[in-house]
Structure formats: C-alpha cells, structure tokens
Structure 1
Amino acid sequence: MFTPKLTRSLRAVRSFLAPVLRDRRGAAAVFLAVALIPMVGAVGLAIDSSRGYLLKTRMGKALDTAGLAAGRVALDGNAQDVAQQFFDANFGTSDASVEVAPVAFALDDTMRFVTLSTTATTPTLFMRVFGRETMIVSARSVIQRETTGMELALVMDNTGSMWPDEFSTLTGTPFKAMQDAADDLIDILYGSDSEIENLWVSLVPYTAMVNIGKTRTDWLKSGDRVLNNPGSYSTVGWKGCVMARTYPNDTNDAPPSVEKFGSFFYASTNSDSNDNKWPTIKEDYTYKNGARGPNLGCGPAITPLTKSKATIKAAIADMKPWSRGGTTGNLGLSWGWRTLSPQWRGLWGDPDLPLDYGTPFMDKVAVILTDGQNQFHDNSNDSKNDKEVPASDYTAYGRIEDLVGYSTGKEDARRSDGRAILDARMTETCNAMKAAGIRIYTITFNKPDATAKALFKKCATTEAMYWHAPDNDTLSAVFRAIGGQLANLRIVE
C-alpha cells in the first residue's frame, strides 16, 4: 500500500513526464528512454531511503527504551530477555514483509556500558528496478550506567539463625548467600573502580545488639565499666557492643551529646550453665549456642561510610553469624540511620560526613535484611516451666523482663509483648528516616513469618522497594535488582 507521501511523489513524476509521453516524435522517445532511468532511480532512491530512515528511527527509539530497562538488570542472566521484551513492546507491529533480527545485548568489561543493536530487512519499492529487492537497516543504542551520588547503609542480619544447625560450615548457608549478594551489590555500584566520586557505603551488622567499635569509648556514659573497670571483662576485654538507650533515643538519630551509651556486658551466670557460665570464655562464632563470655552474641563492628570498595568488601567478608540473644532489627536500622545522619557528622572519623539532607545530586539510602523476626531468644529455656525467670538471654535491652516491665506469667506472653515493642519501635525509626528523605529498601529472607513480612513491607519507602527472598538464588537476584535501581542510566549513543 502506498503512503500519502509516496503517492504525492508519484504524481509529481507523472506530471513532469506527461508532455514527453504525449510527444510522438522519435527524438522525444529517445530522450525519454535516456532520461527516464536516472530520474526513476533518483526518485526511487529518495523514496526507499526515506522509508529506511523512518524504520531506523522506530528501531532506535525502541532500542533506547529497551536499553534503559535492560540497564537496570544488566548483570542478571535475563537482561537480554528483558531487552527483547521492551523492544518488542515499543517497536510494535510492522509490515509482515519487514524482518527484524533479535536484539543483541552486550555489557562491556567495566560493567558501565550496555549496548543493544538489531537489524531489519525490508523490501524496496523502486530500487528493485536496479536489482535491489531488499535493503538492510541497522540501529543501536548505548546506555551508560552511572552510580548516583549516594550515602548507602547496608544493615545486615548477623544472627545465628542465618547458619542453621544442619550446616557444618558457612558454605551454602543463608549467611554466605547474604554475603555473596551484598558483595555483588558493591560490584554493581563500583564496577571496576576502586572508588567513585560521591559514593560512600557503610555496613551495620546487627544481632541482639550492635557493635560500635571498641575504640569509641568517648560515646560511653561517665562511669561506664569499660572506663572504670575494664578488667571485669576478663582478659578478652570489651568487644564494642552497646546497650540500647532509653526510649525514644533507641529509635532516633540523636548523637551521643544527647544521651550516651552503656557498654554491653553479659555477666557470668554460675547457677545456670546453659545461660552464660564463665570464666571459661568461648566467644568465637563457631561455638554457636555453646558460646560463653562477657561479649556473648556481639557481632562485628560497624564500618562507617567509606569510599573504598576494598574496605566495604572486606567488612562484608568479615561478617559472621553470632548466636544467642535474639534479633533486634530495630536497633540495626537506627544505627544504620546514625551512619547517614548529619547529626553524626565528624563522629565516625570523617569531618565532612555524613552530608546534609537534601545535598544536591546526593541520595541517602538504607538497605535492611533479616531472615526472621524481632525476638528474644532464651537458650536456657525449660520447656516444663513456662513461667521461668528470666525468659530470655541478655540483650541490648537487658533481659526481656527489663523491656516489658514484668516477670510473671507465661514466657510466651513476655516474648510476644517484647516483640511487639521492638516492632513498634522499628516502625517509628522507619517513619522518621523516610520523613528525613532517606530511601529504605527492605528484604525478608528465608522463612520469616507473616508479621515480619508485613513489618518490613511497611518500612520500605514504597511496596515496590520491599522484597521477600525465599531462597539463596532469589536473594542474589534481589540485590542485583536493587543495584540496578541505584544506578543512574543515560543514553550516550
């Protein structure tokens, strides 16, 4: 079918040739025979070239859209499929005689440039007079993946449940899957660079408490045992974990000048060998629930905002699953906030960080992961005594009775009330961080219950920024998806 533009061109040619066609003299016929060939060729070339240009333009626009979509998942195995789906949807239907090749997807060695290309074969209308029955039209799009200016806090669950009893080593455990996925995220953000301008990352491991680092004694309360009686920790010394501050300062980003911290100290319980009988100290993570000591359950220290890819990757590799105490994701998130809050500028070591909220071209982002729910664990629980006191290990909130305010009745009731308090305080922290402009991504992993999923979904900035990963492979895909969302994409060709 001829297009209106093509019809107008044919009419112009016919109008130009009409007088010649009516002339019956031999000279005119010769002239026509000689002139007609280049004229038809010129008109045909112009018309077919115009059709090819329009086709190339359609292909280019569809490739640009596909490239922006594929750039978000560039490191995923299905990136090419995503590119093809978006190309097909945006290219739309075409003449059945036009054959479009599959989209070719390529990611360069730096993982910064995504190139999409394709070709289309379309029949000619006029050039076939000269033996050219088809022409090939090619198009390509190059997308540059740039990491946005960002302060990013990774808040990672380091509790013992991430290393189930059926595993003898960390290999293949959910914990190792979390480390690998977080490591992939860093590779996505940094690519082959060791540092990127305006990109800083912190790591906040949490268990039933958080480790601020044993050198930060100036954040401790006056008269704290670390300052006045360090020998009470035996020869191992204070590892760096702290108690939760009084409410609401356990939920917010108030600096130490507002309220300082107490050091975490799990006293020896000589009357209960299943709880924490020491001085036989066994504080390595491999002891699991059999560990004992003043720092029982205390994980690795926070790594504050750093530009160094090597530093943050080493910190991720250094994480270990620490048993006992339970899980306080609310404290993990509040400490993640403190690594991003300008109220803590200079306190972590860098005099210029964290930056102000709303700094141009800078985002503040937190990613928090858990494999379960906020809870108090009791290693010495007597299943025959559901009114046992205490009903939990010692945590950043002390024993569960210290948080809920009562020690009578069934243990399950105390644990349930304790969890409700932790969940409510985590919601407060989530809401305050979002109000400050921090984007929050949340991940539940493995087998959390419905309440935990609902809590983390509500905590995320949007529902689309919450993921549940039931297995290791899905977790890897989730971190890659987040990495794609944190990258800025622009069309460069």
Structure 2
Amino acid sequence: MRLLFRKYASDKRGNTAMVFALSLVALLSAVAGAVDFSQLLWQKRQAQDALDEAALAVAISSTNDTDTQKTIALTVFKQNVDAKKVNATITAMNFNSTARTFAMTASGTYQPYLLQLVGITSMPYTVNSSTIKAADGTLEVALVLDNTWSMSEALDGSQTKIQVLKTAAASLVSSVMTTANKSYVKMAIVPYANYVNVGTANRSQSWMSVPADYSTTSTKTCTTISTQTTCSGGTKGTCTGTQDGVPYTYSCWIVAQTCTTVNITPYTSCTTPTTTNYKWYGCVYNQMSSGKLVMPDPTTAYVGFLGTSQACLNPIVPLTNDSSVITTGINGLVVNIGSYKPETYIPSGLIWGVNVLSPPAPFQEGAAYDSKNKQPRKAIVLMTDGANTQYSTSSGSVSTANATQLATTYSDQKRVCDYAKSKNIEIYAIGFGVTDATSLANLKYCATDTAHYFDAQSSADLIAAFKTIGGQLTKVRITG
C-alpha cells in the first residue's frame, strides 16, 4: 500500500492525480461509513437490551393496569440505557391479557460523526421486543384443595375461607391455563375431606370395586307398652362443641332432670314399615395393608362404599386442558351436603393428587413420568386450612383420631409426600390460617423446598400465595 501511495505521489500526470483524488474520497467515505455504522449498531443494541429488560419487567409484574405497565416500562428502560450516549425512547406498548403477551417498540436517532461530511446528519432506527408468559414446557398440575367444614369460617373480612380459595385458585388457573398454553397445560382438581369422591361415572372402571346399590324394608312390629317415664326439674342451658375445629352451640341440660318410671294401662304400639336405600355417591375407602396406608398406583382396586346419604363432597376433576372445566369445578366447591359436615384427612387428598398425575390407572390422563420432571413437569398444589382430625382404620374408613392415631396419620402424610417426590413431582404446600404447629411442620416437610411452602395467615396471603405459584409454574421469555 505504501508503494502504491508513493507511485501516486510521484506521478505528475493529471489523470492519475484525479483518479487518486476520487479514490481517496471513496476510501475515506467508506471508512467514515464503517465507523458510524458500527456506532449505530452499538446504540441500537443498547436500546434493544434496555427494551428487552423493560418488557420482561412488565411481564413479570403481572399487572394489567395500563398506567402501571407504562410506568414500569419507562423506569426500567431509563435505568438500562445511557441517555448521554443513546438517544432512544419507548414509542409503543401493547399488552394482550388473553394471550399474556407484551409488545414494545423503541425509536432512536444516531447522529453520525464522519458521515456528516457527505451530508448524512441523522440515522434513525427502531427496535422491537415482545414477551410471553407461558408454561415452562408441558405441565400437569393437581390442585389438592381442602373443602372440609372449617372452610365455612371467615378468616378475616366478610368472605368465608372457601370463597377466598375459589378466588385464589381461579386466579392461578387464569395465569397458567392461557390460550397460548392450551396445547401443553393440563390441570386437575382433587377436593378432599374425610373421603375423596372419584365420581360415580367411574363405577365400572377396573380400578374400582363397588357393591350393588340395594334397599331394605323393615317389617311391621307390635309391642305392648305398660310403663312410662316422666321427668321434672333440671336446668336447660347452652353447650358448645366443635366440628372440624369450628365451634358451635346447642341446647343441653346443664342440671339433669329427675326421671321416674311408672306403670300405666297397657297398650299396643306398632311400627310402620319403612324402606331405606343404600347407594354409591362416589366415595372411596382408603387402601390399607398390614395396618398401613397403601401408596398410590395400587395393584388392587379401590373399594367404593354405599350410604343412605352422601359422605364425600365434590368429585375429582381429572386432568384437562379446558380451563372452563377447571374454573367451573373450583367455583362449584362446597363444604357440606345436608347434615354432612366433613373433617380433615389430608393423606387421602395427597394420594389422589398423585393418582390423577400418574400415567397408570386410576385415571390415565397423565403422561409418563420424566426423570427430570420437565416433559412433562408435574406438580401438586396442596392447600389446607387446619390440622388432621381423622385416622384411617384397618378397613379403610376414617374416624376421629386420638393423639397416637394422629401421629400415624401424619406419618402417612409424610409417606405420601415422599412417594410423590420419588416420582419427581413438585409439591407446593399452603397452610391457610393454620395455627397448629404439627400441621405446619408437616406441610413444610411435604413442600419441595422453602420456595414451595406458604404460611398464609390471611385472605390476602392466600391470594398472594396462589399468584406466586402461578408465576413459578410459568416462564416469561422474549419472543421477538
């Protein structure tokens, strides 16, 4: 190159000088263009990075308020762009609440240094960024929800616990089961109390063993009555009791009456024949073996028991990608049917939470387990508002537990959680207004880690817990 310049410099011919001059102008213009273009790309990259950060911040915030979104975006954008070096501003924002996407545009102008020599005084540019809040891979979630009688209480404010739960759970569904996620997100609902209701439509399934419904009719009987008891005195008052931890009052004799039996003229009393119907309402016993609760994926069928009235509440909603089915199931949760006011036995809820996620029967909507829990990712959201009050008898029925029996119940609860974790199922555990230390300790044990455990002592805490879980089950990512 030096020899070439020396040759041009020593050549006295006019055409050579002219060619050299023109070549020099072109060369200098190319160098100037390269320098300014490099600076343009640098500024554009700075604006793009700042815009991506702003879009992610808005998506993660979970707010749907336009003014709040704008404030967040502008603040984060300014924090991540050097205003002294980059002349760019956000010019457009658009949030799609249905698809959970957020799109932003920023525009800027680069003022060249060298290209001004050839008349180029400004170089405008535009950058775009869009985010989507979607499930992290295929996702299967079982909502194992307490709908025992204690959920009829109001923890704070005017709403009952079950009403707050419906709001919180529905919010989780709307944040995870979006239109964009429909093809790879499934949810199930497992309401639990004393027992779990697997749904009467499953009566003929191979994993169920249910006796036939039947009726009994009493016969007419007659008895001769020759005595009569009369009572007097005593004092009536109000007594208190608890049902699933919920206090109630009833009329009682606080000072007993004095009763005597006297002879009367004999007469005949006859009963009227009555018919009693026994049917299956979807309720199932626990599976027991050698005095221990059998873990999920059993090799023998579950036994459904008959009754004269329903002794289990809402039926299980199996895994589905239809968010309206899940939302309807949540909104339909009840805490009692007639006089049936159920108490708490958490292990059965957990067992059926695993059952709806497991690929083998019972229920087979779940995909095969992934050792890395990614394809699919399986999770249980366990929520309770109290402590276990029941234990499982050797027959699989449940009954009110004493201290020793409660210890067995909590041991079984831990065993089910361990089983779920052995399948790499994540467990989110939420205590809603729980004050019992043993219950809280066992919930914490069941949770996958501390980030999966929530001690919600108020309605706002519960709503926040479900919102946080929704965020953990989804993943914000840049899409463009």
TM-score interval (norm. to shorter) = 0.5 to 0.7
Give the 3-state SS of the residue equivalent to 2:399 in structure 1. Answer: coil
CA distance in 2, matches of 1:88, 1:459: 43
Instruction: Find the aligned partners of 1:50 and 1:203 in 2 and give their Cα distance.
Output: 56
Separation in 2, partners of 1:180, 1:261: 34
Which SS does the other structure have where 1:47 is aligned?
A: helix
Give the letter for the 1:188 counterpart.
S
Partner of 2:190: 204
Quote how far apart the aligned CAs of 1:50 are.
1.7
Greater share of strand residues, 1 or 2?
2
User: How far does residue 44 in structure 1 lie from its aligned partner after superposition?
Assistant: 4.7
Cα distance in 2 for residues equivalent to 1:357 and 1:462: 20
One-letter code aligned to 2:472: Q
Give unmatched runs, 5+ long, in structure 2.
10-17, 218-273
* Matched residue SS, 2:143: strand
Segment of structure 1 superposing worse, 453-462 or 332-341: 453-462
Looking at structure 1, the residues matched to 455 and 275 of structure 2 have their Cα atoms a distance apart, in angstroms, of: 40
Give TM-score scaled by structure 2 length: 0.67
Q: Does 1:470 align with 2:454?
A: no
1:261 has 2:303 as partner: yes
Q: After superposition, what is the alpha-carbon deviation per residue over 1:46-99, rounded to whole angstroms, capped at 9, x for unaligned?
A: 43332221122233345445545654554566777776787678x4x7474546
Q: Aligned partners of 1:375 and 1:233: how far apart in 2?
A: 34
TM-score (ref. length: structure 1)? 0.66
Q: What secondary structure, in the 3-state scheme, does the structure 1 residue paired with 2:200 have?
A: coil
Within a 5 Å distance, the mapping from 1:10-49 to structure 2 comes to 43-49=31-37
Q: 2:349 aligns with which of 332, 349, 356?
A: 332
Among 301, 309, 314, the alignment partner of 2:315 is 301
Residue number in structure 2 paired with 1:397: 398
TM-aligned CA deviation for residue 454 of structure 1: 3.2
1:57 and 2:45 correspond: yes
Kindly tell me: are residues 438 and 36 of structure 1, through their superposed partners in 2, closer, same or farther at Cα, counting changes over 3 Å?
A: same
Q: State the distance in 2 between where 1:483 and 1:70 align.
A: 16
Output the CA distance in 2 between the equivalents of 1:477 and 1:104.
Answer: 30
Q: Which residue of 1 aligns with 2:221?
A: none
Question: Does residue 1:140 correspond to 2:125, yes or no?
Answer: no
Percent of aligned positions that are identical = 25
Question: Where does the alignment leave 5 or more consecutive residues of structure 1 unmatched?
Answer: 1-11, 22-29, 266-292, 378-394, 405-413
What amino acid is the match of 1:353? E
- Which is helix-richer, 1 or 2? 1
Partners of 1:55 and 1:137 within 8 A in 2: no
- Partners of 1:52 and 1:483 lie apart in 2 by 40
The CA deviation at 1:338 is: 0.8
| SS of residue paired to 1:372 | coil
Q: Which residue of 2 aligns with 1:268?
A: none
Q: Distance in 2 between matches of 1:134 and 1:340?
A: 60
| Structure 1 position 176, deviation (Å) | 1.8
Greater Rg over alpha carbons, structure: 2
Conserved 8 A contact 1:363-1:438: yes
Distance 2:54 2:326 in 1: 32
User: RMSD between aligned alpha carbons?
Assistant: 4.7
Q: What corresponds to 2:326 in structure 1? A: 312
The residue correspondences of 1:127-206 to structure 2 (distance < 5 A) are 138-147=126-135, 148-164=137-153, 172-192=159-179, 196-206=182-192
Counterpart amino acid of 1:241? C
The answer to whether the Cα contact below 8 Å between 2:98 and 2:178 also exists between their aligned partners in 1 is yes
Q: Which amino acid aligns with 2:300?
A: V
From the superposition, tell whether residues 246 and 75 of structure 1 become closer, same or farther in structure 2 (CA, over 3 Å).
Answer: farther
